[in-house]
């Protein structure tokens, strides 16, 4: 009986460890080495003496340069909105059909649609017009970030604009040793730094919102606050009814006081609901007022009609007028509570005598506030054709800011 022989296995090779030479060690002069080993705070007085470039607006008066997160529900037109903006910026035309924008290099990273759908959308938006050579696109998610870096480096100093649609195409899987907050923040922070290093450069990152309706536009983003904390601004596209053309665009920004604008979806894409930004802001406020009125129920709506018909009334007088209707069922206390709810929701006003009156006219809107330390004078947005967009403002200019004179409205 012979013993079984084990097969000879080849010896396992170990990968050689590269030797660290002295040439690989970084060398610094004494000043830099001291700053690294013993960092010291800077003086605030020196900061106040510095000058910074003013804002270079993507859409004058609405969206400044920087890295912004555009959030919206699926299939309501967010890709169409960014594509329309990209065409306007590449041509130097008008965004939202009204606002004049400056021509700049544009890169669209369409990581979901594919070339066929992108071609159809471009043809639909352009009509008989030719597409500008300043418009470039890319559709491969695996190489999207590399193309983005190359594009921004190639057009540095020319205020390039990049549309990243959508964030999920470049997000990647989360490492086990990293929280979801850290993973999302570290994904967007490098993009925000690219914009900070080149004043005028802009990146708009398209992302989905969450299903929950709680919170404001900042809380509407799907995921954690790591996304919203890493960007310069958040743009929320809200379209209550998917089959209706009316929508609102909410801009929450770091350097500029954000606001809300009414927009409409037509056959030619998205357009501002108004001839000016001021009118679009008023229309957005009026929509919110009408939505509040619609949610008051039959009693609140009837009281609003009575106030419009008979003028200011106290709760007692309102109950007397209301009870003349044979179908009236509310009590005096119910009328008092209903008027109080209307007042809390800013649908009616109340004077010192306790009389309620309808607020049918949209209140005067405050002016946009711009940070004077960085922004300089905001562009003139009072006309329908905003042309004060200039060249890339890499040289800092002095300016003043116009602060809000009235309290900010509730959202």
* pLDDT confidence band for 386 (50 / 70 / 90): very low
Q: In the CATH scheme, what is the code of domain 66-258?
A: 3.40.50.300
Residue 264 has pLDDT above 50, yes or no: yes
Q: At 386, phi and psi to the nearest 5?
A: -80, 115
pLDDT digits (tens, 9 = 90+) for 176-231: 888 888 888 888 889 999 999 999 999 999 988 755 555 444 555 555 666 777 78
pLDDT digits (tens, 9 = 90+) for 73-126: 888 899 999 999 999 999 999 999 999 999 999 999 999 888 999 999 999 999
Residue 389 has pLDDT above 50, yes or no: no
pTM: 0.68
Burial of 94 (0-12, 13-18, 19+ CB in 10 A): middle
Tokens of 99: 């606002």
Domain residue ranges of the chain, discontinuous segments joined by +: 66-258, 290-358
Please state which CATH class domain 290-358 belongs to: mainly alpha
Is the separation of the CB atoms in 138 and 147 below 8 Å?
A: yes
Q: Residue 1's CB: how many other CB atoms inside 10 A?
A: 2
């Amino acid at each position: 009986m012979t013993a079984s022989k084990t097969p000879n296995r080849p010896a396992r090779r170990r990968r050689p460890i590269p030797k660290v030479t002295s040439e690989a060690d970084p060398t610094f002069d004494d000043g830099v080495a001291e700053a690294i080993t013993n960092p010291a705070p800077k003086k605030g007085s020196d900061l106040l003496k510095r000058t910074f470039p003013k804002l270079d607006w993507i859409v004058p008066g609405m969206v400044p340069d920087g890295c912004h997160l555009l959030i919206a529900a699926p299939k309501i037109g967010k890709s169409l909105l960014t594509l329309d903006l990209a065409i306007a910026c590449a041509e130097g035309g008008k965004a939202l059909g009204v606002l004049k924008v400056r021509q700049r290099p544009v890169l669209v990273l369409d990581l979901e649609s594919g070339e066929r759908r992108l071609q159809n959308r471009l043809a639909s938006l352009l009509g008989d017009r030719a597409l500008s050579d300043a418009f470039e696109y890319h559709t491969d998610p695996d190489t999207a970030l590399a193309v983005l870096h190359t594009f921004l480096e190639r057009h540095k100093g020319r205020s390039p604009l990049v549309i990243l649609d959508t964030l999920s195409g470049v997000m990647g899987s989360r490492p086990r040793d990293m929280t979801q907050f850290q993973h999302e923040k570290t994904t967007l922070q490098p993009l925000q730094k690219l914009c900070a290093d080149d004043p005028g450069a802009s990146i708009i990152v398209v992302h989905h919102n969450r299903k929950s309706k709680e919170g404001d536009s900042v809380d509407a983003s799907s995921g954690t606050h790591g996304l919203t904390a890493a960007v310069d601004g958040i743009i929320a596209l809200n379209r209550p009814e998917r089959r209706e053309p009316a929508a609102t665009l909410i801009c929450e920004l770091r350097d500029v006081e954000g606001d809300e604008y009414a927009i409409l979806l037509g056959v030619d894409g998205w357009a501002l609901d108004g001839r000016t930004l001021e009118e679009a802001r008023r229309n957005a406020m009026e929509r919110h007022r009408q939505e509040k009125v619609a949610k008051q129920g039959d009693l609140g709506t009837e009281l609003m009609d009575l106030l419009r018909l008979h003028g200011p009334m106290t709760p007692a007088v309102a109950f007397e007028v209301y009870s003349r209707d044979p179908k009236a069922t509310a009590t005096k206390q119910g009328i008092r509570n209903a008027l109080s709810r209307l007042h809390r929701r800013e649908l009616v006003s109340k004077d010192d005598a306790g009389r309620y009156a309808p607020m049918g006219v949209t209140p005067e809107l405050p002016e946009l506030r711009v940070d004077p330390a960085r922004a300089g004078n905001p562009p003139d947005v009072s006309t329908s054709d905003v042309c004060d967009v200039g060249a890339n403002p890499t040289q800092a200019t002095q300016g003043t800011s116009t602060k809000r004179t009235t309290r900010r409205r509730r959202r």
